[in-house]
Structure 1
Amino acid sequence: MITRKRGAYTGRNKSSAYKDLVWTVATTKDTTLPLETQIQETLQIIDDNLKELHSNKHQIVSAQVYLANIKDKPVMDEIWKKWIGDNPDHWPQRACLGVDLEGDVLIEISVTAVADL
């Protein structure tokens, strides 16, 4: 009943789905990239993960954005707004938190979405 998609790390998956709900998480693959590029790459990975489980960014119902430096929120907000689009019907509930992230990871995003079944 539960679909799980393997990621790069042992002990956890990048995505899971149950019935019409999808959960996925992403960080950049290259932590040497500048903030803006890490954000864009992380959002692209979210897109790819959702597609793999028959969903998309416009079906996200909840998102949590974790930033290594909460002062980077305005930069993230601008990129997020371009990514999510102008239609308020496609905007999820979203929280943005400043947290300690591992190594040089500057952003991590976790979302819950609805899948097309």
Structure 2
Amino acid sequence: MIERKQTGTRMSKIVIHNQVAYLSGQVGAGDTVADQTKDCLSRVDALLEEAGSDRKHILQAIIWLSDMNDFAEMNDIWDAWVPEGHAPARACGEAKLARDVLKVEIIVTAAVKSS
């Protein structure tokens, strides 16, 4: 069975299949990469909760930065957000994002917690 949440014409924000939650790419508001990363991860937290998961159950994260010069600043926020001992498989690269003001986009896949 496939469960879709917050589904629109173009995409679902969450798709759950076989106890795995796939989140759509999340972006955040703010002027700096740190501000946008904090906001983005707050959105990830909310979607994980809605999916029945949390930070400790993240399997993989894909991070896109509009400028790899922001890598260290983004990592400062990321490292404080990920629970110790629960770092997921992760990739980070540079890409042109959907809007010029965006500096970071994060895509997360997580296991749904057992009930």
**Partner residue of 1:22?**
21
**Partner residue of 1:96?**
92
Residues of 2 paired with 1:40 and 1:114: CA distance?
22
Q: Structure 2: which 5+ runs fail to align?
A: none
After TM superposition, the score normalised by the length of structure 1 is 0.88
Which portions of structure 1, spanning 4 or more consecutive aligned residues, are displaced by more than 6 angstroms?
A: none
How big is the alpha-carbon RMSD for the aligned residues of Structure 1 and Structure 2?
1.4
Q: Determine helix, strand or coil for the equivalent of 2:63.
A: strand
**Partner residue of 1:60?**
58
Residues of 1 paired with 2:34 and 2:113: CA distance?
31
Q: How many residues align?
A: 112
After TM superposition, the score normalised by the length of structure 2 is 0.90
**Partner residue of 1:43?**
41
Residues of 2 paired with 1:35 and 1:76: CA distance?
6
How big is the shift at 1:97? 0.5
Q: Determine helix, strand or coil for the equivalent of 2:102.
A: coil
Deviation digits for residues 1-59 of structure 1 (CA, Å, limit 9, x no counterpart): 2111126x63111111012100113111x3x5322111000001011101101000110
| Corresponding residue to 1:73 among 67, 71, 74 | 71
Matching residue's letter, 2:43:
I
Deviation digits for residues 46-97 of structure 1 (CA, Å, limit 9, x no counterpart): 1110110100011001110000111101011110010003x22x11011001
Residues of 2 paired with 1:114 and 1:47: CA distance?
13
Q: Percent identity?
A: 28
